[in-house]
Amino acid sequence: MAKKKVKTAAMDNGKIDKIIDKYQGDAGSLIQVLLEIQSENRWLPKEALEKVSKKLKVPLNRIQHIVTFYKAFSLVPKGRHEVHVCTGTACHVRGAPRLLDSVQDLIGIRPGETDLDLKFSLETVNCLGCCALGPVMVVDGEYHGKMAPAKSEEVLKDYE
């Protein structure tokens, strides 16, 4: 079976320049610049990293080290909606595996993946810090507690 490619649009160079210029080309602002580019684009394309390297005068290999070290950065396209399912102990014993199975079936991807139309990305997390609400699912920063597989469908349909 041939693997389908995710279509990605290149980020507008003007937006990258504007973000970098906002910090007056200060190399000490590297992480903030990268976070803003990712916030704007939902991931960090190689072309953006090369531009940041050139404009901030920071070696590309140093930037690559930073973006691969911190989990907050992504070098692959992310969906418009990021779904996180807690699989920590409290959520696990309250049904997180069934919740995760349901979410995977509903959006058609596994943890660490993004669907082909860039609608959803799915991740698991070890703890979200709200164990009493387990199992917990977070969509675009909005927490949904005491989730059941059937309830996940209700939540996700709001993100169509």
Q: What is the CATH number of the domain that holds 114?
A: 3.40.30.10
Which of these three, 49, 69, 89, is where a domain ends? Answer: 69
pLDDT of 6-58, one tens digit each? 444 556 677 888 888 888 878 888 999 999 998 888 889 999 999 999 999 99
What range defines the domain where residue 51 resides? 13-69
Which of these three, 43, 69, 95, is where a domain ends? Answer: 69
| Per-residue pLDDT, 7 | 45
Judgement on whether residues 103 and 153 belong to the same structural domain of the protein: yes
The SS3 call for residue 124 is: strand
User: What is the sign of the dihedral through the CA atoms of 73, 137, 154 and 110?
Assistant: positive
CA-to-CA dists, residue 142 to 83, 84, 103, 145, angstroms: 9, 10, 16, 10
| Per-residue pLDDT, 10 | 55
Per the confidence metrics, is the pTM higher than 0.85?
A: no
Helix (H) or strand (E) holding 106: helix 96-107
| Per-residue pLDDT, 15 | 83
Q: Give the total number of structural domains in the chain.
A: 2
